[in-house]
Copies of this chain bind each other. A is one copy, B any other.
Amino acid sequence: MSEVDWIAVDWGTTALRAWIVGGTGTALGPRRSDRGMAVLAPEDFEPALLDLVGEALPAGRTVPVLVCGTAGTREGWREVPYRTVPCAPPGGADAARVATRDPRIDVRILPGMSQSRPADVMRGEETQIAGVLAARPGYDGVICLPGTHTKWAEVSAGEVVSFRTFMTGELFALLSERSILRHTLSDGDWDAPAFTEAVDAAIAHPARFAADLFALRAGALLDDLPASAARARLSGLLIGLELGAARPYWLGQPVILGGEGAQADAYTTALGGQGVTVDRLDATQITLAGLAAARGQLRQEGS
């Protein structure tokens, strides 16, 4: 790479990722660190960033650094107030400058988005939505971003009209790692029919959730329910429960799914079972595309 033009940063609660972007727009990375927001005090952010990308910074010049994610929360590097929907996903002009000691970096943090009724927030996903709109200009429809806290957003005329967060991924992690079910679930295998059956069961009988969970344990004790089926079934129950409530988002709407790996596959399969064909985009790519769009806006303004 000839020259460092700017640095793209996705700074979440548990991880930090950074890309070195050159003058031609080529991004190298991401470089990864486990120094997420949750383990850092405000004064720790600059050193953590420099540890990750400092050696790539040229001397005698200031490189723009654009950050999305929970680094912008009250407990993060600097609190950047939410933008309230309906509005366009925040761009470069909305980013807040944060003071640094090292003169080689000019750091700006993008705001998240909030919604009044029902109360909801996002930090980081607004940049992924901007990335989706960069990849699919003029897109009107729904964006689903599976994750620890899965987001469903409705986008129209370049604005986020409404969104809703589901703690589906966190529930899966808690139940599979810390509940009585942890001994019942395998680590890797996947039983596709068990998943589909559980999605349908949860959509049909959502209130049975806490009983369906215990039935995984009872099934293992009484019927030798295989761990692969139990794991797929837990995932299916959680995603099915979510799809039942998210129906107003996906029913009869175009849906872009921004995710990766097994989780995105599971959502794609579950939505397919409801007759929804998703347009899949890679989660990392849309994060980077959203940061690049924000950088482009700043460049136009001459910042």
Contacts and interface: CB of A to CB of B under 8 A. Distances in A.
User: How many identical chains are in the complex?
Assistant: 2
Interface stretch (A23-31, A56-64, A240-248, A265-273): A240-248
Contact of A119 (B116, B166, B167, B215): B215
Interface in A191-250: 202-203, 205-211, 213-215, 217-219, 221-223, 225, 238, 241-242, 244-245
Interface in A33-79: none
Contacts of A119: 215, 218-219, 221-223, 225
Contact of A165 (B121, B178, B214, B244): B214
B211 A165 contact: yes
A217 B165 CA distance: 10
A210 B222 contact: no
A219 B116 CA distance: 9
B245 A211 contact: yes
A252 interface: no
Contacts of A238: 210
A238 B171 CA distance: 13
Question: On chain A, which size bracket covers the interface?
Answer: 35 or more
A118 B118 CA distance: 36
A202 B209 CA distance: 12
A215 B115 CA distance: 10
Given A114-B222, A174-B179, A245-B205, A168 B121 contact: no
B180 A210 contact: no
Contacts of A164: 211
Contact of A174 (B82, B116, B174, B225): B174
B166 A214 contact: yes
Nearest to A174: B174
Q: Which of A219, A244, A245: most chain B CB closer than 10 A? A: A245
B149 A167 contact: no
Interface in A151-173: 164-168, 170-171
Nearest to A169: B210
19 contacts: A114-B218, A114-B221, A115-B218, A118-B211, A118-B215, A118-B218, A120-B214, A165-B215, A166-B214, A167-B179, A170-B179, A171-B210, A171-B213, A174-B178, A206-B206, A206-B207, A207-B244, A209-B245, A210-B241
Shortest beta-carbon contacts, A-B, top 3:
A207-B244, A206-B207, A207-B245
Given A207-B244, A211-B242, 13 more contacts: A114-B221, A119-B218, A119-B225, A149-B180, A165-B214, A167-B210, A171-B210, A171-B213, A174-B179, A178-B178, A202-B207, A206-B207, A207-B245
